[in-house]
Each structure stands twice: as structure tokens, then as C-alpha cells.
Structure 1
Amino acid sequence: MNTCPNCGNEVIGREGKKFCSAYCKSNYHYERNKEKENTLFKRIDKQLKTNRKLLKSFNKAGKSTIRKEKLLKEGFDPKYFTHYWKNSKGEVYLFCYEFGFLSKRDEKGIEKFILVQHQAYMN
């Protein structure tokens, strides 16, 4: 007696038949492929969550500055953000949810990120 790998019911029919119905066969393969699949959406969501986590961990005070290379080395990717905010000077802060960053060069030419946390006046 064979049992269906999808639902566990008895499989009736020809010898070697694995599934009790066409639905179970389709559902079984759909669920297996869904687990394996590394979709674009999943990759983007994972990177956004990584970016948010890093921005939060390096910005304990609400506003801070960090070398760009250090954040990139940790896995930060500035191409992934959820929205932006433009200040009165015309500078554009990119945000990953409630944590934002602005890319700047200091007087020595070193690239840095200014990290901020979203404030009510930024709406």
C-alpha cells in the first residue's frame, strides 16, 4: 500500500503511482519548488531588512556619521531603499523604513554616510 506524499491518503491505481490525485501531485511539486525558489522579491526584501538592521545598529543616537566602506563591508547596499526625503538644502536622504542615510565626502575626500532616524517634520 502506497501513501500520497502530499496528503497521506492511500494511493489507488496502477503500480508505481505516487499521488492519489492530480491536485495532490500539483500541490506537492508547487510547495517543493516554492521552498527552493529564490525570487527577486525575496532577495530585495532580504536586502532591505539587512540595510535597516545595519542602519539601526550604527545609528544609536538618532544621527551619526560612518565611513561608507565600513557599512558596505557589513553587507549594506545603498541601491536598496524604501523611500527618500529631500531637505531644505536639496540633499536627498534615502530611507530603509525609518532609518535614512545620505552619502557625502568629507574635506579629505573620504566617502561617508550621514545616518538619521525619521522625524515627524520629514513627512
Structure 2
Amino acid sequence: MRKCPNCKEEIIGRSDKKFCSPYCKSNYHYEHNKQKESSLFKQIDKQLKINRKILKNFNKAGKATIRKDKLLTEGFDPKYFTHYWKNAKGEVYLFCYEFGFLAKKDAKGIERFILVQWQPYMD
């Protein structure tokens, strides 16, 4: 009697079948790979998720302006983004999923980010 390495249930089917279901196969490999040394892909994915979370937290109304250093101290890294959008003025907003940012300097020379949320007209 063969047992599934993920859930320990009896395996029914082909003699070379190793898992009882596609879910168990996927879950087993996910858990197994989670324990491996972190890859570049995982590091990038982690930073993108951090960036998204920070942008979402500081942009509750759909548009906001915040000092660049405030986001950086929270763990935001502007080098990581998923896509970009260029407005009619030629300014390029960088996005982490549905939350975007644009680096600007104010009249006093302080670096700020303009935060926006993706809108249908941006397609």
C-alpha cells in the first residue's frame, strides 16, 4: 500500500503515481521549496509585496503626496516595480501592482513621492 507523502492517504491509481491528488502534489512541492535557500525570484517577489503594502497604507484616498524618506524608512525600495505608466506631461509613474508612485522635488528641494492608484484611463 502506497501513501501520499503530503497527506499520508492511500494512493489509488497508476503504480508509479506518487501523490493522491494534484493539490497534494502542489502543496508538497510548495512546502519543500519554501525550505530551500531563497532565490532571486523570491527576494524580488518579497520586495514587490512589501512595496505594495507600503504604498497601499500611505495612499488611502487614491492619491497622496509623501516625503520620500518616510517611505524609505518603512522599507520601500523604488527600484522594484511591476510596470509603469506615462502621463500626458511625459512623467513616468512606476507601479507595484495597482499602486503607483512618481518621484518629484517640491519648491524647497525636498524629494517626495506622488502616490496614485491605477485607474481605467491608464490602460
TM-score normalized by structure 2?
0.73
Please give the alpha-carbon distance, in whole angstroms, between the structure 1 residues aligned to 2:61 and 2:95: 17
Percentage identity across paired residues of the two chains = 77
For 1:33 and 1:88, the matched residues in 2 are separated by 45
Distance in 1 (alpha carbons) for counterparts of 2:100 and 2:56: 9
- 1:59 corresponds in structure 2 to 59
Amino acid at match of 1:89: K
Q: Which runs of 5+ in 1 are unaligned?
A: 1-5, 9-30
Answering whether residue 73 of structure 2 is matched by residue 73 of structure 1, we say: yes
AA aligned opposite 2:68: K
* 1:71-111 alpha-carbon deviations (Å, 9 max, x no partner): 00000000000000000000000000000000000000000
In 2, the alpha carbon distance for the partners of 1:72 and 1:111 equals: 11
Alpha-carbon separation, structure 2, partners of 1:43 and 1:37: 11
- CA RMSD in angstroms comes to 1.8
User: In structure 2, how many angstroms separate the alpha carbons of the residues matched to 1:76 and 1:54?
Assistant: 7
Aligned residue identity for 1:55: L
Gaps of 5+ in 2: 9-30
Dislocated runs of 4+, deviation >3 Å? 31-34
Q: Which has the larger radius of gyration?
A: 1
